[in-house]
């Protein structure tokens, strides 16, 4: 039997088994680098149990995974990634610590990937900025990486004096044609290139931001938690994301339109530790379909981890302020160490959750 709930802003949540034409920006005047800087990838420090040698290093404030202290103290890098069908799959996404997904014009979404401790050799396709992604990025005081953007987004980048690296004017990017992708869906970079630009542009090297809370030691999320093993997020008739719980590894496998989400460069399946579903409202601004998503506001949503789900609230008071996610008891949520996806959904999104 299906049980349908209509949320105040017309969200549809379906519980089963007792539960729950993108305007492609034409990029011009692109500078092609003659060389690509490549550096060694960082290696996480394995956490040990209390009966073993105490863990060394520091936990990343974005993933809860331990790294050497100088790596954790770096400034985050926030990169806009293309999710047009012609851009899939993406490279370097498996190395991100936080990933936001939100709608853009047309029946498409785009990603904002936040990197801190890892240094992918290929990242992309990199795509253009939008104001609501900028408001999420500002929470991390990052180096902001993109290729152009809407007029409002470009104005915001200036107004907020962001540490900005734009592929329209920077030589730290290249067109990667080996995958068969075409302009504008084939612009790539590398973390070493971004860190190099950070240095010669004399951007501050250490980040100033608040991270998340992490713990490996928890039982149930809350008394009000429900099983949530498999669920889907349908943004529109043409685009659907699914998450399936892998009980052996206690994480979620990700699927896009029925296909397993894999990293193009590293050839690894994405394994997600936490999924936050953040319910927002949107307005269409123009004939092209550009959007305003109200993420300086407050609302509700869900936190899903370890096969369980709880309802949460969220609030963000200004562009630079952290979005605070709390449980219904009023405490900030605690995440499991690993990669977190924040699925920004709007009043037209259909969410189906299944408990087996």
* Span between the terminal Cα atoms of the chain, in Å: 13
Please tell me whether the overall predicted TM-score, pTM, comes out greater than 0.85 for this model.
Answer: yes
Give residue 355's pLDDT.
Answer: 57
How many other C-beta atoms are found inside a 10 Å radius of the C-beta of residue 277?
25
Indicate if the pLDDT at residue 157 is higher than 80: yes
Torsion of CA 102, 236, 92, 195, to 10 degrees: -20
Indicate if the pLDDT at residue 352 is higher than 60: yes
- In 3D space, the residue among 132, 119, 103 whose CA is nearest the CA of residue 234 turns out to be 103
| Strand 12-16 relative to strand 350-354, pairing | parallel
Give residue 317's pLDDT.
Answer: 98
Indicate if the pLDDT at residue 55 is higher than 90: no
- In 3D space, the residue among 112, 115, 96, 116 whose CA is nearest the CA of residue 104 turns out to be 112
Indicate if the pLDDT at residue 42 is higher than 90: no
Structure tokens at 207: 């980040």
Torsion of CA 38, 180, 104, 309, to 10 degrees: -70
Q: Are the C-beta atoms of residues 271 and 337 closer than 8 Å to each other?
A: no
pLDDT band at 93 (very low <50, low <70, confident <90, very high): very high
CA 181 to chain centre: 22
Indicate if the pLDDT at residue 243 is higher than 70: yes
Q: Looking at domain 1-20+55-356, which CATH architecture does it have? A: 3-Layer(bba) Sandwich (3.50)
Q: Express as a percent the part of the chain with pLDDT over 90.
A: 78
Average pLDDT value for residue range 145-171: 97
Query: Domain-by-domain residue ranges, the chain?
Result: 1-20+55-356
pLDDT tens string 183-226: 999 999 999 999 999 999 999 999 999 999 999 775 555 556 88
Q: Which DSSP string corresponds to 293-334?
A: E--SSEEEEEEEETTEEEEEEEE--STTSPPEEEETTSPBPE
CA distance 96 to 107: 24
Give residue 354's pLDDT.
Answer: 81
Lowest mean pLDDT among 103-112, 129-138, 200-209, 217-226: 217-226
Indicate if the pLDDT at residue 22 is higher than 80: no
pLDDT tens string 308-330: 999 999 999 999 999 999 999 99
Average of per-residue pLDDT values in the chain: 87
Q: Are the C-beta atoms of residues 345 and 277 closer than 8 Å to each other?
A: yes
11 or 228: which leads in pLDDT = 228
- Contacts (Cβ under 8 Å, ≥6 apart) of 44: 65, 66, 67, 117
For 153-219, the three-class secondary structure string (H helix, E strand, C coil) is HHHHHHHCCCEEEECCCCCCCEECCCCCCCCCCCEEECHHHHHHHHHHCCCCCECCCCCCEECCCCC
Torsion of CA 185, 191, 193, 196, to 10 degrees: 150
CA distance 133 to 116: 18
Give residue 56's pLDDT.
Answer: 78
Give residue 177's pLDDT.
Answer: 84
Give residue 217's pLDDT.
Answer: 72
CA distance 90 to 38: 18
CA distance 46 to 40: 18
Q: Are the C-beta atoms of residues 298 and 313 closer than 8 Å to each other?
A: yes
């Amino acid at each position: 039997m299906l049980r349908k709930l209509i949320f105040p802003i017309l969200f549809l949540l379906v519980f089963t088994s007792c539960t729950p034409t993108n305007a492609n920006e034409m990029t011009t005047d692109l500078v092609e680098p003659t060389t690509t800087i490549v550096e060694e990838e960082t290696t996480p420090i394995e956490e040990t149990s209390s009966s073993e040698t105490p863990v060394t290093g520091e936990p990343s404030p974005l993933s809860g995974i331990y790294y050497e202290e100088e790596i954790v103290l770096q400034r985050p890098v926030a990169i806009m990634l293309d999710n047009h069908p012609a851009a899939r799959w993406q490279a370097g996404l498996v190395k991100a610590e936080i990933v936001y997904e939100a709608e853009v014009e047309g029946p498409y979404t785009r990603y904002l990937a936040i990197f801190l401790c890892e240094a992918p050799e290929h990242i992309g396709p990199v795509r253009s900025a939008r104001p609501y992604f900028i408001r999420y990025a500002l929470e991390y005081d990052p180096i902001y990486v993109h290729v152009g953007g809407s007029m409002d987004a470009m104005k915001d980048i200036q107004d907020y004096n962001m540490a900005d690296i734009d592929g329209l004017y920077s030589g730290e990017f290249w067109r990667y044609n080996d995958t068969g992708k075409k302009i504008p869906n084939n612009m790539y970079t590398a973390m070493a290139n971004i860190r190099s630009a950070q240095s010669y542009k004399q951007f501050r090297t250490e980040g100033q931001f608040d991270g998340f809370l992490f713990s490996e030691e928890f039982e149930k999320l809350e008394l009000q938690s429900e099983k949530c093993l498999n669920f889907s997020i349908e943004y529109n008739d043409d685009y659907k994301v699914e998450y399936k719980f892998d009980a052996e590894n206690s994480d979620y496998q990700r699927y896009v339109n029925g296909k397993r989400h894999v990293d193009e460069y590293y050839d690894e399946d994405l394994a997600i530790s936490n999924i936050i579903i953040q319910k927002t409202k949107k307005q269409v601004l123009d004939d092209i379909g550009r959007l305003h998503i109200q993420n300086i506001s407050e609302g509700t949503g869900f936190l899903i981890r370890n096969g369980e789900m709880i309802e949460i609230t969220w609030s963000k008071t200004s562009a630079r302020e952290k979005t605070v996610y709390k449980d219904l008891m009023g405490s900030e949520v605690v995440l499991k160490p690993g990669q977190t996806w924040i699925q920004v959904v709007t009043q037209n999104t259909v969410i189906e959750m299944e408990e087996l």
